[in-house]
């Protein structure tokens, strides 16, 4: 199984959530996105600037060694089609989540996420495979 780690899954990985660790260990290929890198690094930079416990170096190291995909033109075409379809139905979902879904679809990957609300709608609308973590 190809697995695409959403930001929430990466955070759970760093919290050593055993369900998350087990799912990741069973994957054939693991992807994430520069979008997720931004979201996770933003949280760590915020913690660092507040002089609270921060994993900034570990997180940076993770993204430097992970298969971190940049958003491509093909991904943006897919994401805009998804967003347009949702908007026509009166549904508004965060653009980052739509872009992550497009990358997951383009890479035939299951999106591992704790953010169920948005990704369940994306699954219903696009057939995106998701794996929930708690």
**All structural domains of the chain:** 2-132 (3.40.50.1010)
Per-residue pLDDT at 53: 76
Per-residue pLDDT at 134: 82
What are the C-alpha distances in Å from 102 to residues 15, 60, 71, 85? 27, 24, 9, 13
Series of mean pLDDT values for 10-residue runs along the chain (134 residues) = 96 94 95 97 91 85 93 97 97 96 97 95 97 92
Q: Which residues pair with 112 in a beta bridge?
A: 5, 131
- H helix or E strand, kind and range, residue 64: helix 56-65
Per-residue pLDDT at 83: 98
Per-residue pLDDT at 80: 98
Give pTM, 2 decimals. 0.92
């Amino acid at each position: 199984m190809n697995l695409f780690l959403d930001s929430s899954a990466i955070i759970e990985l760093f919290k050593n959530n055993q369900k998350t660790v087990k799912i990741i260990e069973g994957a054939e290929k693991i992807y994430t996105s520069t979008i997720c890198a931004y979201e996770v690094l933003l949280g760590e930079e915020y913690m660092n600037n507040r002089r609270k416990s921060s994993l900034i170096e570990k997180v940076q190291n993770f993204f430097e060694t992970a298969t971190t995909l940049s958003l491509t033109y093909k991904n943006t075409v897919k994401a805009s089609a998804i967003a347009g379809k949702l908007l026509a139905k009166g549904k508004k979902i965060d653009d980052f989540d739509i872009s992550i879904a497009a990358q997951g679809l383009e890479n035939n990957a299951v999106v591992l996420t704790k953010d169920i609300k948005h990704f369940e709608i994306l699954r219903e609308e696009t057939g995106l495979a998701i794996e929930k973590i708690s």
